[in-house]
Amino acid sequence: MNLRRFTAILTIALVIILAIAIWFFPPDDDFRTGNPFWNGTKEVSANYPISPLESLFNLPSLPLGSTLILIPYLQYTPDELEALNSFVTWGGTLVLADDYGYGNQVLKYLGLKTRFSGQPLLDPLVNYKNKWFPQISHIKSSPFTSESDKLVFNHATCLTNVEAANVLARSSSFSFLDLNGDQTWQESEPTGSLPVISLHNLGSGQILLVADPSLFINSMKTIEGNDSFLQNIAAITASELLIDQSHLPPSNLHQTKNLLAKIRGSLAIPLGTLGLVILALTITMMPLWHERRRH
């Protein structure tokens, strides 16, 4: 066996082994519905009838009774924003959960004055384990907050420019917004009970703003009343409950998985299958043709 042939066989073998490993290894990206680890949403998806949404253009045409959970970690195109606007205007419920992402781009397009602060909300006293896990106990009763008297956030932010009537939950009086990133409260930094969840009506639908998307990850589900909050979102959904996956930053593993899925998809069509059969036959018959040519 010459070096060239050895390298070719080794490369093909490696590619096949890697492809199999990548195909079967679960995704580890934040908020992915297939991710069973602490930062995924697989457990949440398993407990509630949540379907992953791979494109905002696949939103239901009759959104009344449907709920979309949106985690805006990537920018939106004008068409996508319009799709969201139609979804809410025609009766859908949009749960916009953001901390440091592009939630304000959506809010601006939808014409709401409320904004995500984008700065870390820290609570040095009323928290779960440490200041990065503020405990939310000022909760106004609503269908979304029923049975959840306490929520725990994880590296959250707060809402600004929100009317008191729209606020559903506030942080404790000891929480503050860490504007300069020194993790301690300074005189100039907003403190006190800061709004973290608010509900707004838009057209026939409504928008629930949550200042922390981490509420939905597997490891946060069982802490305090977080599970009840999810349960309430599921309960108010008469039709489809969707979680957008198209605006989460894709990891290399995710991109490779997508590539493999595309390859698999293209091979599943008749033309692809035919091509694969021809390729397999060609590879199998090649030694025989070489042998014949030699003779």
**104, 154, 160, 245: residue in contact with other proteins (rule CB under 8 A):** 154
Q: Map residue 65 onto helix, strand or coil.
A: coil
Closest approach of other proteins to the CB of residue 74, in Å: 6
Distance between CA atoms of 72 and 115, rounded to whole angstroms?
13
Q: Does 7 bind other proteins (CB under 8 A)?
A: yes
Residue 255: strand pairing partners: none
Is residue 160 a contact residue for other proteins (CB under 8 A)?
A: no
- Indicate the pairing of strand 67-70 with strand 241-244: parallel
Please state the closest distance from residue 32 (CB atom) to other proteins, in A: 13
Among 70, 236, 241, 243, binds other proteins (CB under 8 A): 236
Q: Which stretch binds other proteins (CB under 8 A): 52-60, 78-86, 167-175, 276-284?
A: 167-175
Q: Return all residues near 152 (Cβ < 8 A) that are at least 6 apart.
A: 127, 128, 133, 134, 135, 136, 220, 223, 224, 226
126 near other proteins, rule: CB under 8 A: yes
Does position 48 bind other proteins by CB under 8 A? no
Query: HSE (CB half, 13 Å, CA atoms) of 260?
Result: 17
Distance CA 153, CA 213 (A): 8
Where do the H-state alpha helices sit in the chain? Answer: 3-24, 42-47, 78-89, 103-110, 226-236, 252-268, 270-294
Among the listed residues 214, 241, 245, 257, the single contact to other proteins using CB under 8 A: 214
Q: Minimum CB separation from other proteins for residue 248, in Å?
A: 9
Please give the structure tokens belonging to residue 97.
Answer: 């959960």
Candidate segments 48-56, 200-208, 211-219, 266-274, binder of other proteins by CB under 8 A = 211-219
Residues that bind other proteins (CB under 8 A): 3-4, 7, 30, 38-39, 73-74, 99-101, 118, 120, 124-133, 135, 137, 140-143, 145-147, 152, 154-155, 168, 172-174, 184-185, 199, 213-214, 217, 219-220, 223, 235-236, 238, 249-252
